[in-house]
Structure 1
Amino acid sequence: MADALQLPHNRNNAVTRGVWRGADGLVHKVLTSRRTDAPAQWASSTEPWHWNYWRREADVYESRLPERLGLGAPALLASRTLPDGDVELVLADVAGTHGGDLSIADIAAVAFSLGRSQGADPLPSEPWFSRGFLADYSTTRPADFALLQDEKAWALPLIAKHFPPDLRAALVRMHRNRDRLLDLMLRLPRTVCHLDVWPNNVIRRADGEVVLLDWAFLGDGAVGEDAGNLVPDSFFDWPLRPGFAEHLPEAVTEAYLAGLDAAGWRGDRRLAVLGMRAAAVKYDWLMPWCLKAAMADEHRAYGSGERVDPDVRYQARAAGLAICARWADEAMELAESLGL
């Protein structure tokens, strides 16, 4: 696209041909089913229920689903089917706080917005909602879980500095409990989830409104699932900031529950907490990835591919994975107390 600035996005995902800010000041996103260069775990699908259905984001915007869910999204200005069959979305460019600049208060506001939406009754349903996202996504990441038992990998200075033995044990325990945690997520109350809520997909306007980006995975999920993803995924790709590890988990939990209350949700609040905690299993694959990257000394930034400081990255990833491991343990205990 001439005279356009390419915006950061997951270039591996086969459903995206590109995302640009054009000379017109608008955001242009082209969806495709024709890419053959993507890694297998990011292949697109033409099945509307599939987590990586290529046309879902166009369906979301064209159906005005965010508005129907009571959630903020960029305004759709045009949706065009291109001569090659791809679809171009033209979206308003949203100004505000984004990505790693979001504060704990900003992220808590996202959680409240999600709870207020997901606690509503009734919620819409569409044939192109994804089904089974959590298990299908998390178990198809190409992770070498044998590395969890590799003493040489854990003894690497970068790993030993940030992942003490108790954290290692907890992460191994989360992997051993993976099937149980995934099963629990399927047994929880259902809601409509964005399924990719993390700081890079959030903008908070100056007036406080929360705007969510990248609706490609949206569909059926468990109550608490989005909020449960939001917490650890606020750590993985940015330097660790003071207070985040100590205060973000509880701030998001309280805000999400307050949002459910504001919507008049009548479910058992413990089930919502269980959904947040058990959702940590989504990142079961990340520790093997960290071990493999440390062994290869290969550390690249999301979206740009630029090399990053591994010490800064692993300090933050250890903080996020520590939350995942703790939450997975809490989920197991809470499920037992609930008789699930």
Structure 2
Amino acid sequence: MTGEAEQRPRFGELRPVPPPETLARLTGAADGTTWTAERLGGDLGYPNGGMWRVTADQRRGDGPASVIVKRTGPMHLGTFPAWRLRADPADPQWWGKEAAFYASDLARTGWIEDVRTPRAEIDDHDGRRDLWLEELSGIPGSLEACRQAVAGLARWQVANADHDQPWLTGDWIARHVERQQLDNARTLAHPAWPSALERGLAPELRMVVAARVTEPAEIARRLAEFPALLANHDFHNGNIGRAGDGAVVVIDWAYVGPGPVGHDAGHLALTLEPQGAVDPADAWRTLTSAYLEALIDSGWTGDPDQVRRSMIISNQLRLGWWIDALLAAADQLSDQGLAARSRLLIFLAGLLISEA
């Protein structure tokens, strides 16, 4: 693409030994250990240059033996169209944002004792910026871990309301929807509808598509009605786990930037995996309550009803592409899986109606 460096294949060479500071700060590996690197994920469809689990064969004490490496850089922007990173520092998906976040005070300031970001080391070499991150367990996070995470997030957001980092660009949601290239007429004409409806897909979803807002400027206008706080923008329980010290840890800050208050908490409630394990209404009530309570306890003085509306409307505007993804995958889904996704979409539509 224009302005981008020639892209390299995913993965590529990895350092045979972690940088010394990484060895000391992130692992319990013994001096002189050898390392084994395991690739995580495949070659296509990822918004980064590769991920590895790097494991030591010798340990000292009870520290962790493994770390995770995530590759970023101007030649490793990824291949997934809507999620891939961008070369322009003004873009809300600038490739250097995650490393800048981990290197800044934002990664450490405002968190509570039992919720934090991962310990991280940044390694620049050969045109790459590798992020060495502590490995977590308990992924995807349980509902209780998610409850703790939204409470910690709220306190962090209030503590950093006056951020001034120039790389924290906004309008991520509007740009993300634009990059999904949604077209309501095309979605309504999708050939998977008849079969999916026969198998139990809710027919009301066609009305949801017909009313879907896809114009980025209109999305940005509607979101501007709500107060903005910093948001992770990829806040789901696949990015929430526990560290060895028991803390709940939130990972993946590639899209951090200003966003509508409550957006992350609402997104988390709607994206819990495994799908169907927690009733969406229960998740929504639990996480909304935890988030609002933590906002207020942190000194936030806004209107709780406005937060609730923001949680609903920002996610309804953002997640319109879910119906397209469901139709594209309908033939591969079991009837149970199709029904679970249909219920979630109807639940989100119902939240919007309740706020109308």
Task: Give 1 or 2 for the bigger CA radius of gyration.
Answer: 2
TM-score, length of structure 1 as denominator length:
0.81
Cα distance in 2 for residues equivalent to 1:10 and 1:189: 39
Match for 1:317 among 336, 341, 345?
A: 341
Q: Which residue of 2 aligns with 1:183?
A: 221
**Structure with larger RCO (C-alpha < 8 A, sep 6+):** 1
| SS at structure 2 position matched to 1:98 | coil
What one-letter code is carried by the residue in structure 1 that aligns with 2:54?
A: G
Matching of residue 7 in structure 1 with residue 7 in structure 2: no
2:124 maps to which of 69, 81, 93: 81
TM superposition shift of 1:233: 1.8
Matches within 5 A, 1:201-240: 201-205=239-243, 209-234=247-272, 238-240=274-276
1:139-193 C-alpha deviation (Å, 9 max, x unpaired): 211445324433853221x444342223443454344899765422222111111
How far the C-alpha of 1:44 sits from its partner, in A, is 2.8
Counterpart mapping for 1:322-337 below 5 A: 322-331=346-355, 333=356
Alignment equivalent of 2:324, drawn from 288, 297, 300: 288
Q: Name the amino acid aligned to 2:88.
A: E
- Alpha carbons 2:270, 2:280 under 8 Å: kept: no
Work out the CA distance in 2 between the residues paired with 1:39 and 1:115.
30
State the Cα deviation string for residues 72-104 of structure 1 (Å, max 9, x = none). Answer: 11111x311112x11011122223x211xx333
The answer to whether the Cα contact below 8 Å between 1:72 and 1:211 also exists between their aligned partners in 2 is: yes
| Other structure's SS at 1:187 match | coil
Residues 148, 172 of structure 1: 8 Å contact kept: no
Residue 185 (structure 2) aligned to one of 146, 149, 153: 146
8 Å CA contact 2:38–2:53 kept in 1: the answer is: yes
Count of aligned pairs between the two proteins: 310
Q: Deviations over 1:113-163 (max 9, x none)?
A: 22222233644231111311000002211445324433853221x444342
- Other-structure match for 1:251: 286
Correspondence for 1:303: none
Q: For structure 2, list consecutive stretches of 5 or more residues without a partner in the other structure.
A: 1-13, 17-35, 57-65
Query: Which residue in the other structure is 1:103 paired with?
Result: 142
Question: What does 1:155-174 align with in structure 2 at a 5 Å threshold?
Answer: 155-156=194-195, 158-174=196-212
How has the CA–CA distance of structure 1 residues 181 and 254 changed in structure 2, closer, same or farther, with 3 Å as cutoff? Answer: farther
Range moving further from structure 2, 36-45 or 218-227: 36-45
1:306 aligned partner: none
What amino acid maps onto 2:142 in structure 1? S
Counterparts of 1:5 and 1:311, CA distance in 2: 35
Answer yes or no: is the 8 Å Cα contact 2:242–2:249 preserved in 1.
yes
Bigger shift: residues 160-169 or 250-259? 160-169
Q: Quick one: which amino acid aligns to residue 150 of structure 1? A: A
> Is contact 1:111–1:227 with CA below 8 Å preserved after alignment?
yes
The residue type equivalent to 2:239 in the other structure is: N
* Contact 2:190–2:327 (8 Å) recurs in 1: no
Unaligned runs of 5+ in 1: 300-308, 334-340
In the alignment, is the contact (CA less than 8 A) between 1:196 and 1:214 conserved in 2?
yes
Give, in angstroms, the shift of residue 270 of structure 1. 1.3
Compared CA separation, residues 189 and 250, structure 1 to 2 (3 A) = same
Q: Quick one: which amino acid aligns to residue 264 of structure 2?
A: D
Matched-pair contact (CA < 8 Å) for 1:30–1:88: yes
Q: Relative to structure 1, is the Cα distance of residues 170 and 202 closer, same or farther in structure 2, using a 3 angstrom cutoff?
A: same
Deviation at 1:291, TM superposition (A): 1.7
Amino acid at match of 1:271: Q
Letter in structure 1 aligned against 2:124: T
Code of the aligned partner of 1:117: W
Equivalent residue in structure 2 for 1:119, among 158, 164, 169: 158
Q: In structure 1, what is the Cα distance between the partners aligned to 2:163 and 2:283?
A: 30
SS at match of 2:49: strand
- Taking the aligned partners of 1:111 and 1:36, their CA distance within structure 2 comes to 29
- In structure 2, the partner of 1:90 is 132
Go from structure 1 to structure 2 and tell me whether the alpha carbon gap of 1:255 and 1:206 turns closer, same or farther (over 3 Å shift): farther
CA distances 1:306-328 after superposition (whole Å, capped 9, x unpaired): xxx44343233223322322233
Percent identity, aligned pairs only, is: 23
Distance 1:10 1:216 in 2: 19
The offset of 1:204, in angstroms, is 3.6
Per the normalisation by structure 2, the TM-score is 0.77
Say if 1:223 and 1:267 are closer, same or farther in 2 by CA, change over 3 A.
same
Q: Which residue of 2 aligns with 1:302?
A: none
What is residue 19 of structure 1 aligned with on the other side? 51
* Aligned match of 2:116: 72
Structure with greater helix share of residues: 1
